[in-house]
Amino acid sequence: MKVKAPGRVNIIGEHTDYNDGYVLPFAINRYVEVEIEDSEFYRFYSETLNECIELRELHKTGTWVDYIIGVIFSFENRGYKIPPISVKINSNLPIGGGLSSSAALEVATAFAISKKFGFDIPNFEMVNVAREAEMNFVGVKCGIMDQFVSIYSRKDFAIFLDTKTLDFKYIPLRLMGYEMYIINSKVKHELSFSEYNVRKEECEKILAVLGKRSFRELKRSDLNLLSGFLKKRAQHVIEENERVLSAVEQLIKGNFKKLGELLYESHESLRYLYEVSCDETDFIVEYLKAKEGILGARMIGGGFGGSVLVLAEVDRFGTIINSLIENYYEKFGIELEYYKIESSDGVSIL
């Protein structure tokens, strides 16, 4: 049984999905492929990493294999029995690039297992199987967006998702005259894992201080009751939700100039209010902001490295990227990677 699941780009709505907020992602044409076969013991092989891990009994390993083991435990917690399997993985999604390679791996694994063993599980429950693997086993306090998008996406559409109610709408992604690119900073700072969970805890503290159950109950006037970094975190979430609503409107209208401005605003907020950016992604965004034909750019993903999303006029990015690569290498000694991205359908059987 062989399955592929896509990574995702979140146009806007960063660090809002675990705060009952709005997000506007779409799946991209880069994938994790998972092939499952019967085996006498557990065997996990990554063609991408050229690494094989074999286990007689499942346990936490502290490696990429934990995303797969977490999925198996999620199924078993629901009463399903999974015999030892051999799992082969291939991917053209950059690891640590902020494109949700972990969720794609979880979703592809979950679908491959369910199809191979005949588990009759609806798509939404599959979202929970994959998410619980990351939350409860790997230990990342993630929201629901990444796994949801990897399953529900449609080509040529973004998903406007309300993570509080889980209502969603497909928003046409008509980029006529424009293109989207991903620039991988090629860095992932050690802070990324721990600080992500810290931000989640800070947001929980904000609700406790204000006596609220959800960030959706917060108003701008509530910011006056907060101070220091808690006020900054709350301000980001409130304003980022507003930006998502505006971005949906701009996509429908085809107003890409305004959409680009929202991307820059989002990056500034992530940099100065939520404080999850880093020198490398800040450099990329500031460099692009000064160039004609680049409408917007922002860091995407959890932060402290990863990738930058770029919205550009057709044929303008190619005249800029080589000089950015040179300047970035001169400053940081790192060679950038970049990809033109297109939308994609969600998980599928190969």
CA distance 37 to 33: 14
In 10 A of CB 253, how many CB atoms?
Answer: 10
Angle at alpha carbon of residue 51, lines to 46 and 56, rounded to 5°: 90
Between the CA of residue 51 and those of 1, 90, 241, what are the distances in Å?
A: 21, 11, 41
Q: To which residue do tokens 């919205």 refer?
A: 311
3-state secondary structure of 150: helix
What residues act catalytically? Answer: 146
Taking Cα atoms as reference points, which of 183, 132, 173, 197 lies closest to residue 27? 173
